[in-house]
Structure 1
Amino acid sequence: MEPRAVQEDRAFRYGIEHECALLHSDGGFADYTDTGFDELQAVIDALPEDPDDYPELRVGDQGIKRKRWYVEGYERFDTHGRLVRCDPKGIEIRTRIHGSVDAAVGALRADVARLDGALAPTRLRTTVIGFNPLRSEYRIEPPLNEWERQHRLGSPEERTAHLHMSTYGPDLNLSCATLGTAALVDIGRKLTHYSPWLVPLSFSSPFRDGAPWGGLSARTAVRTGLRPAVLVFLGERDEQVDADPSLTQEARIPAEVGRIEFKAFDACPDPVLYGELLSWLTGLVLDETLPGRRTTPDAALHQHVALAGLGDDDVHACTGALLDAAAAALAGRDDDLGRLESLRGRWARRECPAVTMLARYEDGEPVAGLRHP
């Protein structure tokens, strides 16, 4: 075990990016088929802009990401590269970079409440689910023009960007100033390897095409293998790892350098669960015992876990071993250990949001716009 003095030198910083799905006030699921960008942008316009959010948050080329809240969608361009429309899937909330897990979770909770307040006078409401319960596929119509093809084929993530139109999940971000480039890449490979046993505690997408699909995470079944489980952001002079999907990416703003971004969890209804998962990730970053490494996710294993979840005894045992490894590495970090114990309770109960969603659905309650026939 690492000496406590060394552990205390490892100060982590945290951020959360959370994708909110939307419901109409009558309870129906809202997406790009019946909700326009301008309608959502009007909600964003009513929310405050804080100049202190920058330079920690990226604005982006089109200026859509001007605030901590922004309309998430698929952008379309003309043949000269000018934005002509954005098909919305929902609203994303992202926190600033915080010095503790509790601060990041508290910031997200406050900004969800602000978004709910801005939506109150409209026909829309927020909900949390990991996958569009009505539509499995976003079709690119009309087909990409020549400029868009060149733009969208530049990286594995751009090439598969349309997949995110059906999925909702967090990017859980952590960084530590004492980690060098080689260590960051190694951690990215470790978290990619163990991702199949990390994700089941977050599963929240048991519906697909209007009904239960038989598993717990349609998001994991569809995206993993084509999209990264982890992205590590490196400096412009650092050597990038050649992989498809990507493992590393050049930081787009200085605040991203050294960031480890875990992307494979489903969206979680309670931000408290994000805090528990961030503490788990912290322990796995500190761990020096786990041997597994992969550059790209194991798609077949993720798909199996997406179906079975923690109901599979082998998956349950592997997830428990990762909790044990994290707990050993977190010795002396009492707040993290407390959150990890809460997560261990969920693991012992084989609990995830999808199980609760299915139970509510079977009881006849509406869940993300669906009701048992």
Structure 2
Amino acid sequence: MSNFCFGIEHEVAFVDHNGRFVDFVSTPYSLLQAVVEELPLYPGDEQQLRIGDAGIRLKRWYLEALERLSPEGEWLTCLPKGIEIRTTIHPDIESAIDELQESFALLCQVAARHGFTPVLTSYNPYQTCLILDPPLNSYEWRLLDRSPEDRTALSTFLTYGPDLSLSCPSWSTELLIDRGRKLTYYSPYIVPFSFSSPFYEGKLWEGLSVRTFLRTGQRPAALVFIADETKLLYSNPSLTKLARIPAEIGRLEFKACDSCADFSLYAALLALLKGLTLDDTLPGRATVPDANLHQRAALRGFEDETIFEGAQQILTAAAQALSEDENYSLLEPLFALLEQRQTPAQQMIKHYRQTGSLQEALRFPYLVSQGMACETRQRSVATS
């Protein structure tokens, strides 16, 4: 079996000590930045994690925010969104999940001292648009006109979602792009396993994933990082991107999932992606995502027969490709969700209806999943 590497980026939303959702309307960026500043810096991470020109991404945690710049390009302030956790690159799925769990636990400890509690959502449950005061100036507009992703960057300011990354040294650039096109084609059947944004404008939305419904067609489902500029494909949204640091070369990043509070779901999704890249039976390929199918998935999930049958097909194919692989067992949570025709959003909706509280519905997934994770770790320690 080929050697793979894995990494995860996970965006965390918060409520403050008054129960207000933390965003650009309610919270100054300095309050969230103080959390990041208290978190540790690990020497050597810069070899794997891109810092960027502004130096904001120095750590495994960084503030997700919109920078406001002067017409001369000088930094003025930031509008906060949440805090992103990035793992380093790992040779197996389990160690990537372990690092994510440790980083999340540390973030929660520090955030609590600053009056913040993590909540699960993949779309801002209260704000429906980003109104900038003052409006963007000409310098800021030029920065947002460099690529299809830059031109739709403002739309991501209301969304929260993971980047699930995998790579394999045996992939050629052509094979890497082919696998990116494959994941793009089958994305509508992958994403329901993660749905977690059933709220909009402070109340229940009509479907299961506002994020998927609104971002489809604007943003990539998968992004492929390559070193050869001559092999870039020009599409809107992009499928290929020039690697910015050596560690990005050959990376396949799946970007279409909602955020998960239960990190074992990330493990399952990474195993599914791995299985789909190894599978040689599924013929579908697409350079840009199918907006119609994503929106059907966003509204009804696995209750939509086409989405259900597509999910069955890809999960079966991935399981067959991983039948003799150590990651086969990681697919189990996906089989369970599919058998029940459930997505994580249904549990959030159920809790909202039981409590009548949107805040409780947002807090509930982390309370349950992280409590279970703590119990698992405690049992592991007790038996070792």
Bin of the TM-score, shorter chain as denominator length: over 0.9
Using the TM superposition, give the Cα deviation of residue 370 of structure 1 relative to its aligned residue in structure 2, in angstroms.
6.5
Cα contact 1:23–1:369 (8 A) shared by 2: no
Task: Indicate which of 322, 331, 341 corresponds to 1:330.
Answer: 322
Q: Alignment partner of 1:85: what SS?
A: strand
Percent sequence identity is: 45
Using the TM superposition, give the Cα deviation of residue 237 of structure 1 relative to its aligned residue in structure 2, in angstroms.
4.0
Using the TM superposition, give the Cα deviation of residue 238 of structure 1 relative to its aligned residue in structure 2, in angstroms.
4.5
User: Who is 1:4 aligned against?
Assistant: none
Aligned 1:343-362 pairs, distance under 5 A? 343-362=334-353
Cα contact 2:207–2:300 (8 A) shared by 1: yes
Q: Alignment partner of 1:75: what SS?
A: strand
Letter in 2 for 1:70: Y
Letter in 2 for 1:50: Y
Report the Cα distance in structure 2 between the residues aligned to 1:83 and 1:232, rounded to whole angstroms: 30
Cα contact 1:175–1:259 (8 A) shared by 2: yes
Letter in 1 for 2:3: A
Is 1:110 equivalent to 2:102 in the alignment?
Answer: yes
Using the TM superposition, give the Cα deviation of residue 126 of structure 1 relative to its aligned residue in structure 2, in angstroms.
1.2
Is 1:80 equivalent to 2:72 in the alignment?
Answer: yes
The structure that is helix-richer by fraction is 2
Is 1:169 equivalent to 2:167 in the alignment?
Answer: no
310 and 59 in structure 1: CA distance in 2 versus 1, 3 angstrom threshold = same
User: Who is 1:258 aligned against?
Assistant: 250
Report the Cα distance in structure 2 between the residues aligned to 1:351 and 1:236, rounded to whole angstroms: 42
User: Who is 2:13 aligned against?
Assistant: 21
Cα contact 2:348–2:361 (8 A) shared by 1: no
Using the TM superposition, give the Cα deviation of residue 341 of structure 1 relative to its aligned residue in structure 2, in angstroms.
2.5
Using the TM superposition, give the Cα deviation of residue 236 of structure 1 relative to its aligned residue in structure 2, in angstroms.
4.2
Aligned 1:130-279 pairs, distance under 5 A? 130-279=122-271
Cα contact 2:216–2:289 (8 A) shared by 1: yes
Q: Alignment partner of 1:102: what SS?
A: helix
Is 1:292 equivalent to 2:284 in the alignment?
Answer: yes
Cα contact 1:93–1:111 (8 A) shared by 2: yes
Higher deviation after alignment, 135-144 or 257-266 = 135-144
Report the Cα distance in structure 2 between the residues aligned to 1:238 and 1:344, rounded to whole angstroms: 41
Using the size of structure 2 for normalisation, the TM-score is 0.92
Using the TM superposition, give the Cα deviation of residue 32 of structure 1 relative to its aligned residue in structure 2, in angstroms.
1.0
Is 1:97 equivalent to 2:78 in the alignment?
Answer: no
Letter in 1 for 2:46: Y
Q: Alignment partner of 2:131: what SS?
A: coil
Q: Alignment partner of 2:136: what SS?
A: coil
Is 1:339 equivalent to 2:322 in the alignment?
Answer: no
Report the Cα distance in structure 2 between the residues aligned to 1:238 and 1:285, rounded to whole angstroms: 24
Letter in 1 for 2:289: P
Q: Alignment partner of 1:292: what SS?
A: coil
Using the TM superposition, give the Cα deviation of residue 150 of structure 1 relative to its aligned residue in structure 2, in angstroms.
1.2
Q: Alignment partner of 2:32: what SS?
A: helix
17 and 345 in structure 1: CA distance in 2 versus 1, 3 angstrom threshold = same
Report the Cα distance in structure 2 between the residues aligned to 1:350 and 1:82, rounded to whole angstroms: 51
Letter in 1 for 2:172: G
Higher deviation after alignment, 36-45 or 362-371 = 362-371
Cα contact 2:20–2:26 (8 A) shared by 1: no
User: Who is 1:3 aligned against?
Assistant: none
Cα contact 2:296–2:304 (8 A) shared by 1: no
After superposition, what is the alpha-carbon deviation per residue over 1:157-186, rounded to whole angstroms, capped at 9, x for unaligned?
Answer: 111111111111100000000001000111
Q: Alignment partner of 1:17: what SS?
A: strand
Report the Cα distance in structure 1 between the residues aligned to 2:217 and 2:310, rounded to whole angstroms: 20
Gaps of 5+ in 1: 1-7
Cα contact 1:211–1:370 (8 A) shared by 2: no
Gaps of 5+ in 2: 363-384
Report the Cα distance in structure 2 between the residues aligned to 1:107 and 1:215, rounded to whole angstroms: 33
Is 1:119 equivalent to 2:111 in the alignment?
Answer: yes
Q: Say what the alpha-carbon RMSD is for the aligned residues.
A: 1.3
Is 1:46 equivalent to 2:38 in the alignment?
Answer: yes
Report the Cα distance in structure 1 between the residues aligned to 2:287 and 2:43, rounded to whole angstroms: 37
User: Who is 1:60 aligned against?
Assistant: 52
Cα contact 1:230–1:261 (8 A) shared by 2: yes
Report the Cα distance in structure 2 between the residues aligned to 1:190 and 1:247, rounded to whole angstroms: 11
Q: Alignment partner of 1:98: what SS?
A: coil
Q: Alignment partner of 2:44: what SS?
A: helix
